Amino acid sequence: MIDIILSGCGQGIIWALLAIGFYIAFRILDFADMTCEGSMTLGGAVTAMLIWQGVNSFLAVVIAFIAGLLAGAVTGVLHTKLKIPPILSGILTMTALYSVNIHIMSIATGTSGTANLSLLKYIDDTVFAIIRSIIPLSKRDVTLVFGVIIVLGTIGLLYWFFGTEIGCAIRATGNNEKMCRAQGINTDNTKIIGLALANGLIAVAGSLLTQHQGYADVKMGVGSIVIGLASIIIGEALFARAKGFFFKLIGIAVGSVIYRVIVALVIYSGMPSDDLKLMSAVIVIAALAFTNYKNEIVGAFKKLFSRFKKKPEEKEEKSNE
């Protein structure tokens, strides 16, 4: 059982990168970015294609990041320059990326229309395999360890970035756009930078996932928005008192891990897997309800406990009489 929890953690920590990227767009920029499904697959497709071509897998991750930056920038331009509403901009980029991803994967195989790229032949070239050749770790542990390092490093970098002048300007844009324009901030640029950064991180998540699961598939982004949202909501529910940007991001990473572990436990326990999506919805609803009705729920628990406390006190009173 420990194995299954740790394997869920490993997956969860990679998805944490996606959740953090989504958080930048969704909470910091106040932009519901649907590009996620496309840019995650983009990261995976680019990485798989590059590994097929013999490019070093670490470099492939960096290039995947850049590809994600471009995808996010496209969404940003669609919204700021063409005045397309936020959700629609994301959906348009995501739709376009479906074809782009197929073209990218086709470069590797030479057959047009490739929608699935297997890394099984190159399993020794992935970042995880390379790390394992240096440090003796099991397959499951290397994902967890490497994932934790990357996520912590990313959170540290983001903490620094959003404290810089341009980072503050991006945060302010999500907070009060009119005021920013009055302060001479080019909100078009800040939005584009913010979205680019968000999707860059999401693409890295896709890249690492592809290397972990051994293949890239044009459909691998489907459902990722729900996973990202669920991670954010669970993280915010549990870390509501977290003060400071750093701890908020940690909370999201933890939320992502918890979500994946719950899913893994559900599967392990033998629940009919047709109900998996229903379970996901229930988890998110529970987290949201907890966030919104925290006081009532905690109050109800307190009442329960106080009843147990009263009983021994009453006994004391009776014995005193």
Partner 1 sequence: MSEANNARPMLVLDNIVKIFNAGTVNEKIALNGLSLTINDGDFITVIGGNGAGKSTLMNAITGVFKVDSGSIVLDGEDIGHLPEYKRAKYFGRVFQDPMMGTAAGMQIDENMALALRKGQFRGLKWGVSREEREDYKARLAELGLGLEDRLTSKVGLLSGGQRQAVTLLMASLKRPKMLLLDEHTAALDPKTAAKVLEITDRIVGENNVTTLMITHNMKDAIEHGNRLIMMHEGRVIIDVSGEAKKNLTVEELLSMFAKASGGEFTSDRAMLS
Partner 2 sequence: MKKLTSILLVALMLVGIVMSAASCSAPSKPLPVVCGESGMNTDCGIATYGIDYYALGVAAGNMAADILIDGKAASTIPVGGEADPALIVNQAVADEIGFTIPQSVLDKAGSKSDTRVTRNTAAIVSSGADYTVGILQLTQHDALDQSNEGFKDQLSVRVAAANKTISFDDQNASGDESNNVTIAESFVAKNVDLIYTIATSSSQAAVTAASETDIPVIFNAVTDPVGAGLVESLTAPGKNVTGISDINPVEKQLDLIAELLGKDDVKIGFLYTAAETNSVYQVRTLGIPHCNSKGYTYVEKGISDINDLEAAITALKNAGVDAIYIPTDNVLANGCATVHTINTGK
Question: Which stretches of the chain bind partner 2, using CB under 8 A?
Answer: 1, 3-4, 7-8, 11, 15, 98-99, 102, 109, 111-116, 118-121, 123, 139-140, 209, 212-215, 217-220, 222-224, 227, 260, 263-264, 267-268, 270, 273-274, 276-277
Interior angle at CA 91, CA 90 and CA 96, nearest 5: 100
- Burial of 32 per CB tally in 10 Å (0-12, 13-18, 19+): middle
Q: Which of 42, 29, 18 is nearest to 256 (CA)?
A: 18
Choice from 184, 270, 272, 312 touching partner 1 (CB under 8 A):
184
Considering the complex, what minimum distance in angstroms separates the CB of residue 50 from partner 2? 16
* Closer of 133 and 306 to partner 2 (Cβ): 133
Considering the complex, what minimum distance in angstroms separates the CB of residue 102 from partner 2? 6
Q: 119 — phi, psi (to 5°)?
A: -105, 10
Choice from 163, 289, 292, 302 touching partner 1 (CB under 8 A):
163
Considering the complex, what minimum distance in angstroms separates the CB of residue 169 from partner 1? 5
* Closer of 53 and 183 to partner 1 (Cβ): 183
Considering the complex, what minimum distance in angstroms separates the CB of residue 263 from partner 2? 6
Q: How far apart are CA 21 and CA 227, in angstroms?
A: 12
* Residue 116 touches which member of partner 1, partner 2, none, C-beta under 5-8 Å by kind: partner 2
Whole-number Cα distances in Å, 135 to 77, 139, 204: 43, 11, 23
Among the listed ranges 130-138, 163-171, 261-269, 285-293, the one in contact with partner 1 (CB under 8 A) is 163-171
Considering the complex, what minimum distance in angstroms separates the CB of residue 77 from partner 2? 24
* Residue 166 touches which member of partner 2, partner 1, none, C-beta under 5-8 Å by kind: partner 1
Choice from 1, 133, 136, 178 touching partner 1 (CB under 8 A):
178
Q: How far apart are CA 89 and CA 96, in angstroms?
A: 11
Q: Which of 142, 127, 154, 141 is nearest to 19 (CA)?
A: 154
Does 249 contact partner 1 by CB under 8 A? Answer: no
Does 165 contact partner 1 by CB under 8 A? Answer: yes
Cβ proximity of 255 and 19 under 8 Å? yes
Q: How far apart are CA 110 and CA 126, in angstroms?
A: 22
Choice from 56, 112, 138, 164 touching partner 1 (CB under 8 A):
164
Interior angle at CA 51, CA 49 and CA 57, nearest 5: 130
Q: Could you tell me the two tokens for 176?
A: 């009060």
Does 181 contact partner 1 by CB under 8 A? Answer: yes
